[in-house]
């Protein structure tokens, strides 16, 4: 029986809602294409490959931060929001890229880091100088405890205390990440106005949207109360390595504060003045999927948000159902965004290739079948979809030796946690060229040999490659409004099969995925007809759907508004809150204090 998990979202004839159901490609600029031969990707390099992007069938791309930065965290420590770092090019280079993207019908989403700046930003240089300057309270400053220790027990995501002593002020400043990334005091109206001005500069330049880095971190508890400990044995927060001490607290007071929602509304109001623009929030929280739903509830908060719910180490039918149902069950009818890989987590084909539902003796983490399954599954979900560069090639996680490690997060927790460099290695364009065609010089991170064998040039002419499949699927998806805008309803099926319908008007599609490496089957609903367009390999035989390991099938179902789908041998999925919904109830009681 169908379990409706979300309301339908009708496409608009206006371009204002272009982001609903869109597929956006994430570009990590340092590793996409190097045009000037310094071993680091840049804006002219992105421009040189823009026809490749357009040919994929995407709707636009998210461009990682390219602003002036000391690069302590590779661009996520901004020293000037209005200029392009020379490492990546110039403002003219950005304008050329933006113009060409729009000519090709591609939307451009930039990455804005508003929670913190670089410690070399002029605002912080002035703020740290003394306690009486004009920007003295533009950052989060606090006195030491009587014994000289930090104001409270808050921890940095990257390890250690979240406080750094500043001798000129004889105070501590807050840094949720590196000490070189001081947190702005966004409770302060002047800081809010300054940040809004920085955003508007880029809206006036014509960008189509902004990804808001760690959007739920913007404000902290004004009383600076200690976070409560997380019970021993409790699963760590989404996106936090189990080895990290950061996961040993409930992050009640250092982020996701209720007052932050007022600032979120102010940001949305700014974007509403530029029709056709959008925001996508990154949410990193104890229960990030539910927080993403909160930040997108109603028409006065953010347009969409992605969380770390599907970016963790666990994989399987229950996990996916729970996160999608949890989001849909929240009030406000928010629009979700989903990603399986990005620049902060190991690549999905490796990360999930070790899970119980996907593991087998003969399986490797670069299995083309598994990579194709993940592309088809991700792009069939209800929401805005983010594909990470190299995902369309089926790239596995790279193993970076300690002497080439760049990521400060990885250096802090080595060797148990090797950091994020393994998912950030340069794109392999052509295995026949030096450095796989990424650069004429040695790149900033090494390119593994198994990545070179999966290069764009090697996959272009192969009709069975992951790249060919991705292109075919994405172009076919554009002809399927039900997959882009329709409501989603899960159907109970035996693991490792994941099955759901996408419905819009009188069109209904049944999507079935075998998440395991061995054959699986389920009853075929009456009137089911497979579709050839997506290039999927599952098949129907008599009254059964047959899927080999990692196979998928999508087909049509007859529309009958009077009769819900009822498959023999299946049971309805329980409606209502999933496990994370129940868990956040308790945390919310504390958070509202």
Q: Roughly how many angstroms between the first and final C-alpha of the chain, as a whole number? A: 41
Structure-block tokens of residue 177: 């990440």
In 3D space, the residue among 109, 53, 401 whose CA is nearest the CA of residue 277 turns out to be 109
- Is-catalytic flag, 34? no
In 3D space, the residue among 415, 350, 417, 399 whose CA is nearest the CA of residue 158 turns out to be 417
Structure-block tokens of residue 415: 């060797």
Please list the alpha-helical segments (H only) found in 331-405.
348-351, 368-378
CA distances from 154 to 141, 157, 169 (A): 14, 10, 20
The active-site residue out of 282, 286, 391, 480 is: 282
Distance CA 555, CA 565 (A): 14
CA distances from 323 to 291, 331, 433 (A): 11, 15, 42
The active-site residue out of 73, 166, 213, 551 is: 213
- Is-catalytic flag, 551? no
With contact defined as beta carbons under 8 Å apart, do 23 and 17 qualify? Answer: no
Distance CA 220, CA 311 (A): 25
457 burial via Cβ count (<10 Å: 0-12, 13-18, 19+): middle
Distance CA 342, CA 213 (A): 13
Structure-block tokens of residue 341: 């890989």
Distance CA 249, CA 246 (A): 6
Work out the number of other CB atoms within 10 angstroms of the CB of residue 179.
Answer: 17
In 3D space, the residue among 211, 218, 219, 215 whose CA is nearest the CA of residue 112 turns out to be 211
Q: What is the DSSP string of 161-196?
A: BSEEEETTTTEEEE-SS-TTSPBB-TTSHHHHHHHH
The catalytic residue positions are 213, 282
């Amino acid at each position: 029986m169908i379990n409706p998990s979300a309301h339908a979202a009708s496409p608009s004839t206006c371009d204002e809602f272009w982001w609903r159901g869109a597929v956006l490609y994430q570009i990590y600029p340092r590793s996409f294409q190097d045009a000037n031969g310094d071993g680091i990707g840049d804006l002219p390099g992105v421009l040189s490959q823009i026809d490749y992007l357009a040919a994929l069938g995407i709707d636009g791309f998210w461009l990682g931060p390219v602003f002036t930065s000391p690069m302590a965290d590779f661009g996520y420590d901004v020293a000037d929001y209005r200029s392009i770092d020379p490492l990546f090019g110039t403002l003219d280079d950005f304008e050329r890229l933006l113009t060409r993207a729009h000519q090709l019908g591609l939307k451009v989403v930039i990455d804005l880091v508003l929670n913190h700046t670089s410690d070399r930003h002029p605002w912080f240089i002035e703020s740290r100088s003394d306690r009486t300057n004009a920007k003295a309270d533009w950052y989060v400053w606090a006195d030491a405890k009587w014994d000289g220790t930090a104001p409270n027990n808050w921890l940095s995501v990257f390890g250690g205390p979240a406080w750094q002593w500043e001798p000129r002020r004889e105070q501590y400043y807050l840094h949720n990440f590196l000490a070189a990334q001081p947190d702005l005091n966004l409770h302060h109206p002047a800081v809010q106005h300054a940040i809004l001005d920085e955003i508007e500069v880029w809206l006036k330049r014509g960008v189509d949207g902004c990804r808001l880095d760690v959007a739920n971190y913007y404000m902290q508890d004004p009383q600076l109360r200690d976070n409560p400990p997380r019970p021993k044995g409790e699963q760590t927060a989404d996106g936090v390595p189990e080895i990290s001490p950061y996961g040993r607290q409930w992050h009640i007071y250092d982020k996701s504060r209720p007052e932050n929602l007022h600032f979120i509304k102010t940001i949305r109001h700014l974007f509403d003045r530029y029709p056709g623009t959008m925001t996508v929030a990154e949410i990193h929280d104890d229960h990030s999927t539910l927080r993403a739903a909160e930040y997108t509830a109603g028409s006065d908060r953010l347009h969409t948000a992605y969380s770390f719910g599907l970016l963790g180490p666990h994989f399987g039918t229950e996990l996916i159902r729970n996160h999608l149902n949890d989001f849909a069950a929240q009030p406000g009818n928010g629009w979700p965004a989903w990603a399986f890989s990005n620049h902060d987590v190991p690549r999905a084909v490796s990360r999930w290739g070790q899970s119980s539902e996907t593991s087998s003796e003969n399986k490797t983490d670069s299995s083309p079948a598994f990579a194709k399954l993940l592309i088809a599954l991700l792009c069939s979900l209800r929401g805005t979809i983010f594909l990470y560069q190299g995902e369309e090639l089926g790239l596995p996680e790279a193993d970076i030796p300690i002497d080439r490690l760049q990521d400060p997060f990885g250096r802090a927790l080595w060797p148990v946690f090797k950091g994020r460099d393994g998912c950030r290695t340069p794109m392999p364009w052509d295995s026949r060229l030096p450095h796989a065609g990424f650069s004429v010089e040695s790149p900033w991170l090494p390119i593994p040999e198994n990545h070179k064998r999966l290069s764009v040039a090697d996959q272009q002419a192969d009709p069975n490659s992951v790249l060919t499949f991705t292109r075919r699927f994405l172009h076919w998806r554009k002809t399927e409004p039900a997959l882009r805008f329709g409501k989603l309803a899960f159907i109970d099926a035996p693991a490792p099969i994941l099955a759901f319908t996408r419905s819009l008007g009188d069109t209904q599609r049944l999507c079935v995925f075998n998440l395991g490496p061995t054959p699986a089957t389920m009853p075929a609903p009456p009137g089911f007809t497979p579709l050839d367009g997506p290039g999927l390999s599952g098949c129907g035989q008599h009254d059964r759907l047959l899927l080999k390991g990692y196979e998928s099938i999508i087909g049509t179902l007859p529309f009958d508004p009077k009769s819900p789908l009822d498959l023999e041998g299946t049971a309805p999925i329980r409606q209502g809150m999933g496990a994370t919904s129940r868990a956040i109830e308790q945390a919310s009681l504390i958070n509202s204090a």
